[in-house]
Structure 1
Amino acid sequence: MPESSHAILRANQYGRPSFIDKIGLFSKLAVLPVVLIWSYLFKWSGRTRKRSLRDGLTRFLLTKLNIRQCQHVIGTTKATYNAWCKQVKQEPHIEAIGEGANLLWVSERRLEKVILVFHGGAFLLPPIDTHVKFWARVGAKLGERGINVSLAMLEYTLVPAAAFPTQLKQAVAAINHLTSLGVKPQNIQLAGDSAGANLILQVLSHLLHPLEYENVPALSLAAPLKGAYLMSPWVDLSDIHGTFKSGDPTDILTTGTLRYWGTEILRPVPKEYLGYVEANSAGDDWWKGVDALVDRVLITAGREECLKDEIIRFNSVFENFHAHVKMEEHDGVHDDPLFAVELGESGGGAPDMIIDWFRAGY
């Protein structure tokens, strides 16, 4: 095979760094101890030392490593899930749903009430164990409050192995699969962080404006979905209004990282379909009729994250078309509730508020 063909093949493979990438990865990780010591000694204002270490590590890796290097370090969605199952002594339950996707059951598989989770990671990275731990805790806390709900995480294909609208196809397949098993839409709540929240908005966009591009399957619901929770939704991939910089000094994601990732995701998207992927590029009346598709919507954003202003901007448009939208700003960074739960912190009450919101939906 010609060298150019090798290069093309490698570019379309997930987590396959080049030789130069591997050398760069080694040199970058070599300075990581210095970064962690610095984060510990000069902790970020308002954060515990443990949190400063966690945020410093995350920011360093996501800022300094390229996409191939990040994928190589983090691994795969299935590997994360299997490792978590082993840690908690739970038998993995992986269910194929078509379109090359799987449901990974985080709790006991029951088909009465289901929270369907779309993980974040810019459509480039798999979930980390933090994601699984957070949603397992949500399920456990709801159980303690008398709500027996099952949680399933969608394993969707990551870029560069597949691009838009593959992930939308797989999200639609997941919902269709659940309803085909007898789960009523009124007993399904969607949940997603960052790119996962973006994917929820893609689903709602597809319901409002059925997309025939690349044979995206139809999604027809007999009743509205019960709820949709958007944690730090990735509503702006290109820094349309130049607002990302406000969170640069404090967030775990920088303007440069967000623009770099956004460019990779948007590159193959035809201009006429941009609104499906970048919510803040959609027309002013794009969300007209969304209130008939989902009963309740919760949106959360950290006051110290780069996306905060764009999330507020999105909410100011979206709430014009839905009377039951709750927008909550909380102290913290991008996806802050996930990390707060992991470290045993209160997260300013955000995790408990999220659980209460889900409980109210059932």
Structure 2
Amino acid sequence: MSSLSSQTSSKSGGFRLSFSQHLSLLSLFLSLPFSIGRGVFALENRQRTWRRAIHDSVLRTLTSRKWDDVRVIAHGLDELEEGAALHWIGPRRYDRVILYFHGGGFSLPPSPGHLELLHAMKKDSKAYGGTGVVLLEYSLTPDHPFPTQLRQANAALTHLLVKGAKPSDIILSGDSAGGTLALQLFAHILKPLPSIPPPPALSAPLRGAALISPWTTYGVDSPSFSRNDRLDGLSKDFYQFLGDVVLHGVPKDELAWAQPLSADFAGLDKVVTHVLNIAGEAEGLLDPVNDIALKLERAGVDVKTMIEAGGMHEDMINNFSAGEGNRSESYRWLTKWLAEVYQ
């Protein structure tokens, strides 16, 4: 399996731990065995396997802390003009292609779970004729604030079209912040953001968009954030922390592009035909995910929303990280939807 190589930088503006942060890391890792022992017997893990219970307990412990940014440098295969890169999973293919935007709060690089998911998508696409799968490596916040990522997603879509892909053969997909990026790109196509290059002209609507736990608002006012705070892998405070990082310095007149729930999607049916919207019953983002589904439906798009029982934020990615990706109900939904949309 191929993977993205990464490194951290100790140069000014890069990643450097203070003495207090070193102590915080030490205390965190010393606490992990206790967190795992407590977590595997927790009420919220009663329906999960041992492996998922351990994985989720570690995740809850790690994301209960606030982290400084880590600058990650990956080495791409197709360099884009906007400082980003496209990583193909297997051979390039433009007659059918899934353009994937990874999650991580715009602050973290792709995880092993993301790469496992993409390889599974590539392999399982053979059942419906096969498809190209390509991952966008975008620049990370806070070193590269909004609209950097939207600029790079726009360049990625333009690149595929220039290479011969037809809009009707392209599906955008992404989890969490990656789902945000797909929705930001739709907003840009409908009404171009003046501070970045214009969107490509579409001769037809894109085939579809598969959104996995899309991060549609950077606030935490929706009831599901409080209701699921102890059940989700990410705490309410951590959602707010990541949201504050993204919104820092964003002008008010650009919020409609930065935050999907603030965007006007009128006319979206001319941009994309089908949307799959996946969320977990136990994630903080559940209400906003349902809200964006209603907004897209009102714009005339065929939207299918799937809520996984007991699922947390990015449950599909977590399953792949724990080595149980193919057992994920949400992944089966995704595979079935892709087959239906491409047939």
Pairwise CA distance, 1:136: 0.9
Q: Structure 2: any 5+ residue segments left out of the alignment?
A: 1-10
1:262 matched to 2:243? yes
Once the two structures are superposed, the pairs formed by residues 317-356 of structure 1 within 5 Å of their partners are: 317-331=295-309, 332-342=311-321, 343-344=323-324, 349-356=329-336
SS in structure 2 opposite 1:301?
A: strand
User: How far apart are the structure 2 equivalents of 1:39 and 1:56?
Assistant: 5
- Against the structure 1 CA distance between its residues 109 and 263, is the aligned structure 2 distance closer, same or farther, given a 3 Å change threshold? same
SS in structure 2 opposite 1:175?
A: helix
Once the two structures are superposed, the pairs formed by residues 79-158 of structure 1 within 5 Å of their partners are: 94-143=77-126, 145-158=127-140
Q: Structure 1: any 5+ residue segments left out of the alignment?
A: 1-8, 80-92
SS in structure 1 opposite 2:298?
A: coil
Residues 281-317 of structure 1: CA distance to partner in whole angstroms, max 9, x if unpaired? Answer: 33xxx11100000111110110000000111122122
* More helix per residue: 1
Residues 135-187 of structure 1: CA distance to partner in whole angstroms, max 9, x if unpaired? Answer: 110110111x1422111100000012200000001000101111111111111
- Against the structure 1 CA distance between its residues 220 and 19, is the aligned structure 2 distance closer, same or farther, given a 3 Å change threshold? farther
Contact 2:275/2:301 (8 A) holds in 1? no
Contact 1:291/1:323 (8 A) holds in 2? yes
Pairwise CA distance, 1:188: 0.8
Which of these residues, 271, 274, 291, is aligned with residue 296 of structure 1? 274
SS in structure 2 opposite 1:234?
A: coil
Pairwise CA distance, 1:244: 1.0
Cα-Cα RMSD: 1.9
Contact 1:195/1:233 (8 A) holds in 2? yes
Contact 2:282/2:312 (8 A) holds in 1? yes
User: How far apart are the structure 2 equivalents of 1:99 and 1:291?
Assistant: 28
Contact 1:117/1:192 (8 A) holds in 2? yes
Structure with the larger RCO, 1 or 2 (CA within 8 Å, 6+ apart): 2
Which of these residues, 152, 159, 164, is aligned with residue 170 of structure 1? 152
Which residue in the other structure is 1:3 paired with?
none
1:49 matched to 2:45? no
Which residue in the other structure is 1:84 paired with?
none
SS in structure 2 opposite 1:31?
A: helix
1:220 matched to 2:201? yes
How many matched pairs?
Answer: 329
TM-score normalised over the length of structure 1: 0.86
Q: Give the letter for the 2:40 counterpart.
A: Y
Pairwise CA distance, 1:346: 5.8
Contact 2:316/2:325 (8 A) holds in 1? no
User: How far apart are the structure 2 equivalents of 1:137 and 1:103?
Assistant: 18
User: How far apart are the structure 2 equivalents of 1:333 and 1:208?
Assistant: 31
Pairwise CA distance, 1:340: 2.6
Q: Greater CA deviation, 232-241 or 260-269?
A: 232-241
User: How far apart are the structure 1 equivalents of 2:17 and 2:153?
Assistant: 28
Which residue in the other structure is 2:39 paired with?
39
Residues 200-242 of structure 1: CA distance to partner in whole angstroms, max 9, x if unpaired? Answer: 01000001111112x3343222221111111100011112445
Contact 2:273/2:301 (8 A) holds in 1? no
Contact 1:77/1:155 (8 A) holds in 2? no
TM-score normalised over the length of structure 2: 0.90
User: How far apart are the structure 2 equivalents of 1:77 and 1:232?
Assistant: 25
Contact 1:67/1:124 (8 A) holds in 2? no
- Against the structure 1 CA distance between its residues 150 and 20, is the aligned structure 2 distance closer, same or farther, given a 3 Å change threshold? same
Pairwise CA distance, 1:39: 2.1
Which residue in the other structure is 1:278 paired with?
259
SS in structure 2 opposite 1:233?
A: coil
User: How far apart are the structure 2 equivalents of 1:77 and 1:300?
Assistant: 30
Pairwise CA distance, 1:353: 1.4
SS in structure 1 opposite 2:23?
A: helix
- Against the structure 1 CA distance between its residues 281 and 350, is the aligned structure 2 distance closer, same or farther, given a 3 Å change threshold? same
Which residue in the other structure is 2:26 paired with?
26
Contact 1:40/1:53 (8 A) holds in 2? yes
Q: Give the letter for the 1:136 counterpart.
A: H
User: How far apart are the structure 2 equivalents of 1:192 and 1:161?
Assistant: 22
- Against the structure 1 CA distance between its residues 136 and 348, is the aligned structure 2 distance closer, same or farther, given a 3 Å change threshold? closer
Contact 1:119/1:131 (8 A) holds in 2? yes
Which of these residues, 217, 236, 239, is aligned with residue 220 of structure 2? 239
